[in-house]
Amino acid sequence: MGERLKDWVAQLLKAFSSVRGLGEGKLKWRKSLFTPPSSQPSPAGEGTKLLIHHRHSDFSDLDHMTIIIRDITEKNNPKAYPMNVNHEARPPFPPFTRETATQKARLAEDGWNHQDPQRVALAYTVDSQWRNRAEFLIGREQIIEFLTRKWAKELDYRLIKELWAFDDNRIAVRFAYEWHNNSDEWFRSYGNENWEFDQYGLMQRRYASINDLPIKEADRKFRWPQGRRPDDHPGLSDLGL
């Protein structure tokens, strides 16, 4: 876990430095809630100091971490921005590579498979704009309300996402999920999503087009225990979907 945490902290510092227009090596790590790896550099000089912490207490769950970046730069720094400016962040950050775009898609899949609207909403900006089928949403409050309704209707929900394309701060995925309604009628829903992220890795735009295919229970392909899809479970292409 230490190496992954070290890498993500480095991404955080790089992203914050880029946003603030600061030169490389101008940021410092400051301990909060946990001790950073001993190999984490702490550049000399009076640069911008950051307080970085997790919304949740369980640091073993790095795949779903939402980080708060708090600018605690000294007041006597003439180049400092206002004190106590908070930023949420969700690694990995744009610009994306194939590796980080694939990781982003899998993290989104994992989050939705846990079916926790409050937690899922933290992956989106506070003013995130959605189109989901023919429904238009703005902001986390509407996202939470939508997801609550969705998972009350779509029972035994299991989802698989697959990267389709990526560029800079945008990712396109295709997906399929299986579910049944209160009448035990089963469906496999196929869809495509276009995502746009801010500099902190939070999704600021999501456009989803989805079609529902009625299926028989015997034709289900997603049968893992409810929650995260196991690493050895086939993806969409492997299943021929």
**Shortest CA distance to 169 belongs to which of 103, 94, 91, 234?**
94
79 and 111 together in one domain: no
105 and 178 together in one domain: yes
Confidence (pLDDT) at 197: 97
Whether 185 shows a pLDDT value over 70: the answer reads yes
Burial 86-119 (b: 16+ CB within 10 A, else e): ebbbbbbbbebeeebbbbbbbbbbbbbbebebeb
Confidence (pLDDT) at 18: 52
Alpha helix positions (H), 25-160: 98-114, 117-121, 140-153
74 and 104 together in one domain: no
114 and 180 together in one domain: yes
Helix (H) or strand (E) holding 218: none
77 and 109 together in one domain: no
121 and 84 together in one domain: no
What tokens appear for 193 in the block?
Answer: 């999503």
Q: Say if 235 falls within a structural domain.
A: no
115 and 57 together in one domain: no
Distance set, CA 130 to CA 32, 138, 211 (Å): 34, 6, 17
Average pLDDT over the chain reads: 79
Of 215 and 41, the one with more pLDDT:
215
Q: Say if 11 falls within a structural domain.
A: yes
104-149 pLDDT tens trace: 999 999 999 999 999 999 999 999 999 999 999 999 999 999 999 9
Confidence of residue 236 (pLDDT cuts 50, 70, 90): very high
39 and 122 together in one domain: no
Distance from C-alpha of 233 to C-alpha of 241, rounded to nearest angstrom: 14
Whether 223 shows a pLDDT value over 90: the answer reads yes
Domain coverage including residue 196: 98-219
36-84 pLDDT tens trace: 333 333 333 334 444 454 444 343 444 445 555 554 444 444 444 343 4
Q: Say if 232 falls within a structural domain.
A: no
27 and 53 together in one domain: yes
Total domain count, the chain: 2
212 and 102 together in one domain: yes
Q: Say if 234 falls within a structural domain.
A: no
- Give the predicted TM-score (pTM) of the model: 0.73
Query: Which residues on neighbouring strands pair with residue 192, listed in sequence order?
Result: 174, 209
Please compute Rg for the chain using Cα positions.
20
73 and 104 together in one domain: no
Distance from C-alpha of 184 to C-alpha of 162, rounded to nearest angstrom: 27
50 and 115 together in one domain: no
What tokens appear for 165 in the block?
Answer: 């394309």
| CATH at 181 | 3.10.450.50
